[in-house]
């Protein structure tokens, strides 16, 4: 399946030269007006050359600037005549979810589900908001009786990674792909033989370089709206898909249902105790 222009821009962004990145940034912010300019005008607007624009187009897998404009034009939806915050957020969420679905490769996500099921221990590393997503994933998989922990402290990451072996799995969460604490810990675990998985925005980063499998999610920067601050929606979507795949396993589903029943019985018992 051919990726969209915006997906290509994101995945190849780290692989672009500084001037090509400036062209990419301009395209992201002005994608609705690109159809009205030619290659010379884009070069002038980005203070580059037509040769640089052409190289940029080829690096994002377009044959030429004309091919780039045609593909981008097909992807641009007509703007919704509603400037309310509700509408803006709805449109941004729809774009991120759809883009995430386009970026996910079925083979890769099935491979990750298999790695989780086969691992003796699963460690999920993430800092900041990615740490919150790591904790969310931990709570989900715990209910399936999967041995998992979420590490959100850089020192603990190194400590836990140093104790892993070839039977273990590390999942690193980093939108930028350059969170050094996560990269360092994953490198330690990989040296000990652990398998490594990353969920990130960009290819060609230190994080993807040490990952056996990588899943890519759309960057919030592609929205072109500085007010949009949710950096975890795409990661949660990916974790949802992995969770659904795992629950196709009857044993894992049974384990989850048992934990839910136990919580239900506890809540019901406590409710009766308070009434008596």
What are the structural domains, with CATH classification, of the chain? 5-75 (1.10.10.10), 98-259 (3.40.50.10490)
Q: What is the pLDDT of residue 276?
A: 38
Q: What is the pLDDT of residue 123?
A: 98
What pLDDT, in 10s, does the model give residues 167-199? 999 999 999 999 999 999 999 999 999 999 999
Task: Tell me the C-alpha to C-alpha distance, in Å, between residue 154 and each of 1, 128, 150, 188, 199.
Answer: 38, 11, 12, 12, 18
Q: Calculate ∠ Cα 210-117-120, nearest 5°.
A: 75
Task: Please compute the mean of the pLDDT values over residues 25-34 and round it to a whole number.
Answer: 89
Dist CA 185 CA 161 (whole Å): 6
Strand order in the sheet with 195-200: 148-151, 122-125, 169-174, 195-200, 213-216
Q: What is the pLDDT of residue 121?
A: 97
Residue of 242, 225, 245 whose CA lies nearest to 28: 225
Q: What is the pLDDT of residue 181?
A: 97
Per-residue pLDDT band at 83 (split at 50, 70, 90): low
Task: Please compute the mean of the pLDDT values over residues 108-125 and round it to a whole number.
Answer: 97
Confirm if 185 and 194 have CB atoms less than 8 A apart: no
The pairing of beta strand 213-216 with beta strand 195-200: parallel
Confirm if 24 and 56 have CB atoms less than 8 A apart: yes
Q: What is the pLDDT of residue 84?
A: 74
Per-residue pLDDT band at 213 (split at 50, 70, 90): very high
Output the six-digit token pair for 121. 């221990």
3-state secondary structure of 95: helix
Q: What is the pLDDT of residue 225?
A: 61
Q: What is the mean pLDDT of the chain?
A: 89
What pLDDT, in 10s, does the model give residues 142-151? 999 999 999 9
**Single pTM value for the model:** 0.75
């Amino acid at each position: 399946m051919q990726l969209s222009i915006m997906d290509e821009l994101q995945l190849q962004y780290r692989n672009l030269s500084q001037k090509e990145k400036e062209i990419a940034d301009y395209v992201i912010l002005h994608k609705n007006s690109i159809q009205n300019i030619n290659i010379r005008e884009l070069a002038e607007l980005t203070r580059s050359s037509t040769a640089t624009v052409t190289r940029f187009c080829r690096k994002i897998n377009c044959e030429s600037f004309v091919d780039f404009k045609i593909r981008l034009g097909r992807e641009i939806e007509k703007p919704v005549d509603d400037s309310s915050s509700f509408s803006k957020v709805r449109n941004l969420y729809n774009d991120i979810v759809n883009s995430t679905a386009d970026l996910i490769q079925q083979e890769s996500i099935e491979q990750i589900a298999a790695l989780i099921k086969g691992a003796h221990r699963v460690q999920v590393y993430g800092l900041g908001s990615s740490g919150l997503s790591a904790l969310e994933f931990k709570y989900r998989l715990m209910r399936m009786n999967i041995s998992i922990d979420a590490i959100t402290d850089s020192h603990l990451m190194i400590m836990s990674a140093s104790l892993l072996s070839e039977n273990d799995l590390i999942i690193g969460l980093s939108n930028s792909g350059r969170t050094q604490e996560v990269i360092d810990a994953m490198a330690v675990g990989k040296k000990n033989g652990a398998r490594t998985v990353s969920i990130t925005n960009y290819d060609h980063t230190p994080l993807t370089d040490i990952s056996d499998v990588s899943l890519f999610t759309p960057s919030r920067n592609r929205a072109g709206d500085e007010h949009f601050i949710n950096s975890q929606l795409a990661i949660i979507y990916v974790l949802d898909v992995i969770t659904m795949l795992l629950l196709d396993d009857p044993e894992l589903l049974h384990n989850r249902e048992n934990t839910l029943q136990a919580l239900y019985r506890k809540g019901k018992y406590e409710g009766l105790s308070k009434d008596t």
